[in-house]
Structure 1
Amino acid sequence: MSAPTSHRSAEEIGRTERGPRPLPELGEHRAAADLASADTTLPSGLRVIAVRRASVPVVELRLRVPFADPADSAVGSTHCAVAEVLANTLLTGTARRGRLDVDTELALVGGELDAVVDPERLAISGNALVSGLDTVLDVLADVLTGATHPEEEVARERARLVERIRLARSQPNVIAREALQEHLYGDHPFAKEMPEVAEVEAVTPEQVRELHARAVLPRGSALVLVGDLDPEAAVAAVAQALSGWTGEGEAVRLRPLPEVVGGDVKFVHRPGAVQSQIRLAGRGLTRTDERYPAFQLANLVFGGFFSSRLVENIREDKGYTYSARSHPEFTPGGATLLVDADTASEVTAAALMETRYELAKLGMVPPTDEEVDTARRYAVGSLLTATSSQGGLASFLVNLAGMDLDLEWFAGHPVRLAAVTTEQVAQAALDFFSPGSFTGVVVGDAELLAPKLRALGGVVLP
């Protein structure tokens, strides 16, 4: 019996007698334009995008229905609560099918459907074997036009939702997110991502059914199918299956958000917290802005991936946080750049100071050619990775559809990234990353944090 072979470390595997193994070159980008597709709007007003990607015999489905509060008010509005119950009971029964029937029919074609809602949209996602597409579309049409939201299901899902809300609101990240949204947007409906427990407990089946009839509308909505299918035939199948989904008016979109204006950071007291949440926000760019590719690369250099300056500083060098990142959030009518870091209480002020330092440094010490090239490779690679599967591509395209974009934007983005110069990235850094352009919140224990944050300045303490 031979002696066991010792394990080699990652560093040993990555080296040879002649030195480090060279990294393989990135593969050639396969343009999305090579994908057969169809993009049309049906007489009902529903936009249908179908894309052939024949990797496996499956089809992915994504439906996006704009679902803003018609009253356009977060204060005193029950829309958020009713919408949550609606999403949770949408697939629990129709005039033709009970909950078990829905689940069984989908399972027989290897499929599933799920529904979620947020202040912007009601989203239905699912998949099935291509041979079961007609079944999935029939079930989808049934719940869109005939969901009954049974009383017992409303009661059950209402109780579950109450428990989830109570649990969520005990989580530091949720506390920080809600505080940031309120700080940035006040009483705009976008700021209310989660209803209050009392609002959910008061929801009735009649309210849910009324909202469904009034707001689940095809006009202004978008349906994406990606899979081993013929795009034109898939569109025809949708047109036939959803021919009964009609309605007066158009699905309601949220009004644009106010532009984020830089200023002091608001402190949110969380007694007894041993960790703090730093959440900063500044103005971003929409994907249609010609400066967006340069902005995207500037963000990656700053904090958008593991090799960024922010991560190198407050994680790798100083050990202030396990996770730090910056990322764009595309919002109604615009975009926001978010910076997140969770830290131990004793280093919160120092981490905030270093984050501001890195924001200023990005403009004062512009990204180098090497940094830009690394960020460019990451941007293209992550886009291709995120959309390499049928499900990933379907999700990406339905998000683009929500911004009135299409497959052409997706196909052209790697080319736009390739054309960005280091000088353009440096200009984006100057225009968007100055510390004075950001505001935000810090959540933590005031007794521990107040002295250092007061000395640091730029923080409004309780």
Structure 2
Amino acid sequence: MLNRKIAPEIKDAVEFNLQLKQSEKFTLDNGIPVYSINAGAQDVTMIELVFYAGNWYEDQNIVAGTTNFLLKNGTSKRTAFEINDHFEYYGAYLNRNCYNETANITLHCLNKHLKQVLPVVEELITDSIFPEEELVIYKQNQIQRLKVSLQKCDFVANRFIDEYLFGFDHPYGRYTSIPDFNALTREQIVKFYNDYYVNGKCLIFVAGNLPTDIFQQLNQAFGHLPLNKKSLPEKSFTVRPVGQKKHRITNDENGVQGAIRIARPFPNRRHPDFMKAQVLNNLFGGFFGSRLMSNIREDKGYTYGIHSYFQNHVADSAWMVSTEAGRDVCEATINEVYKEMQLLRDEPVDEEELLLVRNYMIGSILGDLDGPFQIINRWKNYVLNGLEESYFYDSINTIKAITAEEIQELAQKYLIPEEFFELVVI
């Protein structure tokens, strides 16, 4: 019997032996690869169809995002209202998102209703008609939303810092404008849909307490579609950062708060420094107990929160420091960021602080493995980035084994103020 008078033994997270549940892979009749995780107690399934239909492949700005959004807005058999009503009737949730390289359609559904819901998902992939009236409403709504967002300094800062890092002609550095929405036509959307959805390249990720006939159901719904038959067009883009490193923009003459972005280009996940740099990043500004938070939030009181993180794109990446601070302390905040960079370059981190960061990172990974949806999401990231299962265990070993000297060397290599773009938007 458990003796509740004795406190349980406390263990550091670094002592845990984390294991990544193996995904199962099978292939539909038309060659679509399906990655699955069968786990969980609830009879709920998540199915995510990932298409190579992101901004990378569009010939005109925002065509990819608009196509993805309007997939649910009408087929030859159902109106937008009828489509939404169908999913709602069966308690299912269908979402879609567009990213830089890929776009997805994600379904969450009770297992017992999959047979009623999957045919409608198939209908969206093969028979969306993009009614002109739906496009008109979408453009009006997006233009209005953009006008409101452009009044916010953090929104403007996020747009400009990406342009500074990658160049506006690069998919990672491009942003939307009102003329872009006005220039959209139904013909452009239909062509993109036919090229990258109806006849595009697709992968499927499925997770949950899966029904025994999940393969048959997926094969019946999607295994006959003309997907993965054509090669993707080869598109390459050159990163062209802007020349000037320091930028100050006044977006609101009466603004009392400034959005601060300090960022530099950084290698992607496949670079040998990336895993170790994640430890340095967390130490620097990656969690609530980081040095940036301790200094700039807790000690100086300049901001409610400041964070550093990697923009994890497939081809190229960036190291970003992001915060909002009072207008009168923006410059002081930037100076403190650079001071923390210098400390990491000049002094090795002590073992107590390094252990705290190790425990935080291992604990975060443990949380990310809590449930089938989180596990399949990790597998999806590995598949889309061309990584193997070993990447998971190499990351764990790096977190546990990295030394203070290695962290200092990385800081001396990458935390160089002159290599960072600096932006303040008031």
Of 217, 223, 233, 1:243 maps to 223
425-434 or 234-243, which deviates more:
234-243
1:137 matched to 2:123? The reply is no
The 5 Å alignment of 1:36-435 reads 37-40=23-26, 42=28, 44=30, 46-68=32-54, 78-80=60-62, 82-191=63-172, 194-216=175-197, 220-229=201-210, 233-247=213-227, 249-251=230-232, 255=236, 258=239, 264-270=245-251, 271-405=253-387, 409-410=391-392, 413-435=395-417
AA at the equivalent of 2:42 = V
**Cα distance in 2 for residues equivalent to 1:52 and 1:24:** 30
Q: Does the residue aligned with 1:255 lie in a helix, a strand or coil?
A: coil
Aligned residue pairs, count: 417
AA at the equivalent of 1:202 = A
AA at the equivalent of 1:266 = H
AA at the equivalent of 1:153 = E
**Cα distance in 2 for residues equivalent to 1:102 and 1:49:** 27
RMSD (CA atoms): 3.0
**% identical equivalent positions:** 23
Deviation at 1:274, TM superposition (A): 1.5
Deviation at 1:388, TM superposition (A): 1.6
**Cα distance in 2 for residues equivalent to 1:259 and 1:186:** 5
Does the CA contact (< 8 Å) of 2:51 and 2:201 recur in 1?
yes
Does the CA contact (< 8 Å) of 1:178 and 1:191 recur in 2?
no
Does the CA contact (< 8 Å) of 1:113 and 1:126 recur in 2?
yes
Residues 152-205 of structure 1 show CA distances to partners (whole Å, capped at 9, x for unaligned) of 222222222222222222221110011111211223232455422232133232
Does the CA contact (< 8 Å) of 1:46 and 1:219 recur in 2?
no
Pair 298,263 (structure 1): closer, same or farther in 2 beyond 3 Å: farther
Stretches of structure 2 that go unaligned for 5 or more consecutive residues are: 1-6
Deviation at 1:307, TM superposition (A): 0.8
AA at the equivalent of 2:48 = R
Deviation at 1:230, TM superposition (A): 6.1
AA at the equivalent of 1:32 = L
Deviation at 1:42, TM superposition (A): 4.7
**Cα distance in 1 for residues equivalent to 2:357 and 2:409:** 16
**Cα distance in 2 for residues equivalent to 1:381 and 1:218:** 42
Pair 420,238 (structure 1): closer, same or farther in 2 beyond 3 Å: farther
Residues 194-235 of structure 1 show CA distances to partners (whole Å, capped at 9, x for unaligned) of 42223213323232212201222665432211111169x534
**Cα distance in 2 for residues equivalent to 1:357 and 1:218:** 53
**Cα distance in 1 for residues equivalent to 2:370 and 2:407:** 27
| Aligned residue number for residue 4 of structure 1 | none
Stretches of structure 1 that go unaligned for 5 or more consecutive residues are: 1-19, 445-462
Q: Does the residue aligned with 1:360 lie in a helix, a strand or coil?
A: helix
Deviation at 1:239, TM superposition (A): 3.0
Q: Does the residue aligned with 1:90 lie in a helix, a strand or coil?
A: helix
**Cα distance in 1 for residues equivalent to 2:234 and 2:155:** 25
